A = this chain, B = another copy of it.
Amino acid sequence: MSQTLNCVELLRRAVRPTTFVQSRTLSELAGANVVIASETFQHTGSFKFRAAYNVVQQTNAPHLIAASSGNFGQALACACQLLSKRCTVVMPATSAQVKIDAVRRYGGVVELVDTTKVSRADRVKQLALEHTDAQVVSAYDDQLVIDGNSSLGEEIIECGEKFDAIIVPVGGGGLASGIVRALQRHNDQTPVYGAEPKIANDASRSLQEGKIIRNDDEPQSIADGARTLSLGLNNWPILQSGLRTIIEVEEADIENAVRVLFTAANLKVEPTGALTVAALLAQKNTFTKQNVCCIVSGGNVDAAVYRRILENA
């Protein structure tokens, strides 16, 4: 444990501290005292840098490979660049150019795959066989990823507020596991709530049924960071014991939360980043008059998508 703590301390010198944002308007709207822990100004614009940097820092491999069409790819490429390692990110050939460019800007090699012919996972396996010095990295199902994300939990614990609840977005479960792990390390009993899109509710169903439930297909939630098929094996036991519950959020409520954060808090967030505020506003009764920390996981959203969401503001 002290080994892990030392690594987390080392990591915290590399990451940017989270940004705590308060909005009186949002607090009034929620009927609670809301503190946002925003990872939108983290390196590469999302919390994923915490996990990526920790993996790259702690592995001996000179070359990291991951499948990611989103924030983890950028974060891994950036961490590899900072620590002078090679990075390959497998992305669908249909990925937005802006996301491909972002990985390349950080010196990552992008491997585009025609996913109608070969799955991303299979291409990653092929690459791992070709590059025997490389290590394949999961964006969420990995103890080093969880430890990396726990650094955000440490910051929340140390921020000077005593929270009645922490709400965290749930996709593969890497961030939620990290927050729970940090609290457990400090014997901190603050309840942690997950926030998950209703149309991608595998984690919520998993908690209810007591075993990992998988989505049949990648759910097409606007919260693209929560489009995972299931919780990771490493995340599951931590979340099963550590999450109070998971709040399922409607798609329209996610978009509304993006607008609320724009209007009431001056925060530009990606839809996945708005999940926790959507959950808070959907379950006001649960949090009435409480001191609530909502984690905003990232801010990377295409201008066109953002413009469409703002149409109804």
A25 at the interface (CB under 8 A from B): yes
Instruction: From B265, B267, B306, give the contact of A310 (CB < 8 A).
Output: B306
Is A307 touching B311 in the complex (CB atoms < 8 A)? yes
**What's the minimum C-beta distance from A109 to chain B, rounded to whole angstroms?**
19
Interface residues of A in 259-296 (CB under 8 A from B): 259, 262-263, 265-268
Which 6 pairs, one residue from A and one from B, show the smallest C-beta to C-beta distance? A266-B299, A303-B313, A268-B268, A40-B266, A303-B310, A307-B307
Is A162 an interface residue when CB atoms closer than 8 A count as contact?
no
* Residues of chain B within 8 A of A265, CB atoms compared: 41
Task: Verify A45–B299 contact, CB threshold 8 A.
Answer: no
Per-position binary interface string of chain A over residues 1-44, scored 1 when its CB falls under 8 Å from any chain B CB and 0 otherwise: 00000000000000010010110110000000000000011010
List B contacts of A138 (CB < 8 A).
none
- Give chain B nearest CB distance to A48 CB in angstroms: 14
A residues neighboring B (CB under 8 Å): 16, 19, 21-22, 24-25, 40-41, 43, 45, 105, 259, 262-263, 265-268, 299-300, 303-304, 306-307, 310-311, 313
The answer to whether B303 and A259 have CB atoms under 8 Å apart is yes
29 contacts between A and B (CB under 8 A): A16-B22, A19-B19, A19-B21, A19-B41, A21-B41, A22-B41, A24-B43, A25-B105, A40-B266, A41-B265, A41-B266, A41-B267, A45-B266, A259-B303, A262-B268, A262-B303, A262-B306, A263-B303, A266-B268, A266-B299, A266-B300, A267-B268, A268-B268, A303-B310, A303-B313, A304-B313, A306-B310, A307-B307, A307-B311
A22 CB contacts on chain B under 8 angstroms: 16, 41
